[in-house]
Copies of this chain bind each other. A is one copy, B any other.
Amino acid sequence: MTQQEPLYLDDLVVGAEYPSAEHRLDAGQTVAFAREFDPQPFHLDAQAAKGTFFHGLAASGWHTAAITMRLLVDSVPLGNGIIGAGIELQWPRPTRPDDTLHVVSKIVEITPSRSKPDRGIVTVESLTLNQQGETCQRLVAKLVVMRRPG
């Protein structure tokens, strides 16, 4: 990743892609997150997880989402920050405790606000991929993005 200048509404182009750095998971991280926020057997205990929907230990989807956010902060350098108005999330396959994740974000739509001329809503699709390039999460976010301060 090269260091990037902060981006404002005027800088964004539909179709532009922003790849992130990688984040390497391990069971220490996934179990700690699950203990605090999502204490269900398939996120906590490898033995108990075997007989479940996930057929083995899986990270909480909310952990995948949180790591995705961490990777977005450095890879989509919006001048006013990453501010989500609304999002859609799917988890097509589980994130496993030994996965290495990265995120590829693409600008899908840019809609200048009619009522507030200093900003717009930008739709960004962010795919969170594992080390095999398989999609563990699809996030579509509507972000509030400001124009460059005058």
Q: Do A70 and B40 touch (CB < 8 A)?
A: no
A74-106 residues at the B interface, CB under 8 angstroms: 80-91
Q: Chain B's nearest CB lies how many Å from the CB of A124?
A: 14
Residue of B at shortest CB range from A53?
B83
Q: Do A86 and B90 touch (CB < 8 A)?
A: yes
Question: With the chains together, A33 CA to B38 CA distance in Å?
Answer: 15
Chain B residues positioned under 8 Å from A53 (CB to CB): 80-81, 83, 144
Q: Do A39 and B84 touch (CB < 8 A)?
A: no
Question: With the chains together, A83 CA to B40 CA distance in Å?
Answer: 10
Q: Do B89 and A41 touch (CB < 8 A)?
A: no
Question: With the chains together, A58 CA to B25 CA distance in Å?
Answer: 27
Q: Indicate which residue in B39, B62, B70, B85 contacts A65 across the interface (CB closer than 8 Å).
A: B62
14 inter-chain pairs at a CB distance below 8 angstroms, sorted by A residue, are A36-B66, A36-B70, A38-B73, A42-B81, A52-B81, A53-B81, A60-B69, A62-B62, A62-B69, A65-B65, A84-B89, A86-B88, A87-B88, A87-B90
| 3 tightest Cβ-Cβ pairs between the two chains A and B | A37-B66, A86-B90, A40-B81
What would 7 more interface pairs be, CB under 8 Å, given A38-B70, A39-B73, A85-B90? Answer: A37-B70, A39-B70, A40-B81, A52-B81, A61-B84, A86-B89, A87-B89
